[in-house]
Amino acid sequence: MPSTEPRPYSATRVARHAAGRPRSARPSLKARTPLSVSRGALRVPEITVYFWVIKGLSTALGESTSDYLVHKIHPVPAVGLGFIGFVVALALQFSMRRYMAWTYWFAVVMVGVFGTMCADVLHVGFHVPYIASSVLYAVLLAAVFVAWQRTERTLSIHSIDTPRREAFYWAAVVATFATGTAVGDLTAYSFHLGYGYSMVLFAALIVIPAVGYRWLGWNPIGSFWFAYVITRPLGASFADWVGKPASVSGLGWGGGRVSLVLTVAIACLVAYLAITRRDVQRAGRLT
């Protein structure tokens, strides 16, 4: 009759049993890591106060620089210069193996300039109403989000660790800039709010996702992209309010002067982040 007593374990068998599986069946460290990346390998920055400040400044810079170039030189070469800067900036960003502050924010700024030009071209060049361009770019942005979600199963900024995910990310960024520019012009011109009241409106709207995320338990990814889209018309309204002449409800500082001040401010903040690396993401974040 077989014995019912358990067989004695050797020291090796006891160690393997405690681990829950044979030594040869253990997964590698890479397999256990959620994103399989090391610190600094992600392609975009951590979401900090620096991120939102520079993002807001870059949206204003995109608006003021686009207006300045289009009025100082012929619109066609101006858009051509914007496109060249856009391509060069993204090429530099994609050439980096991990997040680098100066290449990332250079790309954001050039996306802001070129995205603004794209939105303005529809209205100025093809006489498309602001309501139509706002809807068009909003649909385009929604299409990017749907394609990104279906392909990668996440829209999280903490998962941008492959070229394909980064391509979706920058497509969304371009679409947010174009959408925000059209919406900002819609409220200022079509709804007759002017730049100052438009700025107040979008400043109030951007509080909504912050409150929802902080106190109402809103989804962090949805809250992030909600706020990200609103930063564009908010920054553009601010740049127009400061730079446009008083005859159109502005302060009259001029687009060139506003662009210069914003460029210096962004350069100082990005230099600080590049040195301190305070906005480098931690590996393994999923939201």
Count CB neighbours of 222 within 10 A: 13
> How far is the C-alpha of 59 from the C-alpha of 199, rounded, in Å?
13
Helical H segments across 153-252, by residue range: 163-185, 194-215, 220-243
Q: pTM for the whole thing?
A: 0.81
> How far is the C-alpha of 46 from the C-alpha of 64, rounded, in Å?
27
pLDDT score for 247 = 83
Residue ranges of the domains in the chain?
46-276
> How far is the C-alpha of 5 from the C-alpha of 210, rounded, in Å?
62
pLDDT score for 149 = 96
pLDDT per residue over 76-88, tens digit each? 788 888 999 999 9
Look up residue 51 and give its two tokens: 């991120």
In this prediction, the residues of the chain whose per-residue pLDDT falls under 50 are: 1-40, 286-287
**CA angle 93–95–96, rounded 5-degree value:** 75
